[in-house]
Amino acid sequence: MEFRRINNLPPYVFTIINDLKVEGRRAGHDIIDLGFGNPDLPSPDIAVEKLAEAAGNARNHRYSASRGIPKLREAVAGYYARRFGVYLDPETEVINTIGAKEGFSHLMWTLLQPGDAALVPSPSYPIHLYAPLFAGAEVREIPLSTGTDFFGTMQERWRYSWPKPRIIVLSFPHNPTTACVDLEFMAGVVDFAKEHDVLLVHDFAYADLGYDGYLPPSIMQVEGAKDVAVELYSMTKSFSMAGWRVAFMVGNPQVVAALAKLKSYLDYGTFQPIQIAATVTLNEAPGHPKEVCDIYQSRRDALCSGLNRMGWEVEPPKGTMFVWAKIPEPYLEMGSVEFASWLVRDARVAVSPGVGFGPGGEGHVRFALIENEQRTAQAVRQLRQTLAKLG
């Protein structure tokens, strides 16, 4: 049998590292996993309590609302008002999605078809590249690396693309490069979108993970952004609710309505007790994202200071739950897959190979801040012993 939609997918290189990790653990080794960005912090107590309470009510066991129950959409609007000073109409400008990854994929089906094109940063979170391809569209990559004039490069790629891209995908703070932008950048992109009649899709997964006083801006803070933009916000990182699959798309009402129409054919919404728990959490645990952010910043400091002391020069990120590190010069010729595989086997530390985020990620590895400071320090010690060429 031929599986045409998936036959052209390249091997998922992260599975190589995962298999080595499993192999090492089966052999009795303690592998410190800094590869997969799976939050280890527990969800808020109130979320768990409300989930259990709502699940005990048989009325919540039926199909729910595909768009999200009204109270949940109101809670999201309330979050945006408090955090960004942005007013959203919960009826027309907010929709619940079953996780940001699924929401983004469904959105691409809504917006794109064969013959269309999308502009996407590279390297990139894999689904940002592949969801447009699943929809049959072509992808034009915008190189994104340290020191890159991303806005200028975006304009250039737009000029020389044919067909002209219908959408531009953005995601700041950025996974995997950790690049951050300010509100002035967002305003410039909105102006560009208005001038060229293109839709902006901003994946705001790390909305609440900004360090050293940096507050990541929402594109919705720009005047007139709703005319040309939508934004995906998730409770995964901010509220440590990864497995709950609770996210939202906000912004342009026509796009919200179009996604709602598609979703009405695809799903019946997230399990209603989860929606109820998410509603209460957004309303009654407003301080949780700050607590989470402080923990990740402490881990960032422990990892970056440890790596720099051993001679692996890294720049502490201003946002995200990752550290994007160039492979040290003595080991650069190995390539990211071979280097990351070696670290699992010899240092017993798992990291993500940069090429897994697209060709633009080669020469780098990504650390996820998913271990406490003690485990992180242990990982640094093991790396120091293995990377002898760093002196």
| CA atoms of 40 and 60, how far apart (whole Å) | 28
Contacts for 374 with CB less than 8 Å, ≥ 6 apart: none
pLDDT computed for residue 75 by the predictor: 97
Q: What is the pLDDT of residues 184-243, one digit of tens each?
A: 999 999 999 999 999 999 999 999 999 999 999 999 999 999 999 999 999 999 999 999
Residues paired with 249 in a beta bridge:
95, 232
Other CB atoms within 10 A of residue 28 CB: 6
pLDDT computed for residue 136 by the predictor: 92
Contacts for 290 with CB less than 8 Å, ≥ 6 apart: 208
pLDDT computed for residue 3 by the predictor: 66
pLDDT computed for residue 85 by the predictor: 96
| CA atoms of 208 and 215, how far apart (whole Å) | 7
pLDDT computed for residue 65 by the predictor: 83
Contacts for 40 with CB less than 8 Å, ≥ 6 apart: 370, 371
Contact indicator for 208, 39 with CB cutoff of 8 Å: no
The token pair at 281 is 């959490």
| CA atoms of 164 and 148, how far apart (whole Å) | 23
The label of the residue with tokens 């720009």 reads: 222
Distances in whole angstroms, Cα of residue 285 to Cα of each of 32, 44, 46, 277, 370: 31, 8, 8, 11, 22
Residue-wise DSSP of 334-353 = G-HHHHHHHIIIII-EE-EE
Element (DSSP H or E) covering residue 170: strand 167-170
pLDDT computed for residue 38 by the predictor: 81
| CA atoms of 279 and 291, how far apart (whole Å) | 19
pLDDT computed for residue 143 by the predictor: 86
pLDDT computed for residue 168 by the predictor: 96
Amino acid at site 211:
Y
Does a cis peptide bond (omega within 30 degrees of 0) precede residue 176?
A: yes
pTM: 0.93
Would you give per-residue pLDDT tens digits along the chain (391 residues)?
666 666 556 556 778 888 888 888 888 888 899 988 788 899 999 999 999 999 999 998 988 888 899 999 999 999 999 999 999 999 999 999 999 999 999 999 999 999 999 999 999 998 999 999 999 999 999 988 766 688 888 999 988 888 899 999 999 999 999 999 999 999 999 999 999 999 999 999 999 999 999 999 999 999 999 999 999 999 999 999 999 999 999 999 999 999 999 999 888 889 999 999 999 999 999 999 999 999 999 999 999 999 999 999 999 999 999 999 999 999 999 988 899 999 999 999 999 999 888 888 899 999 999 999 999 999 999 999 999 888 6
| CA atoms of 175 and 192, how far apart (whole Å) | 23
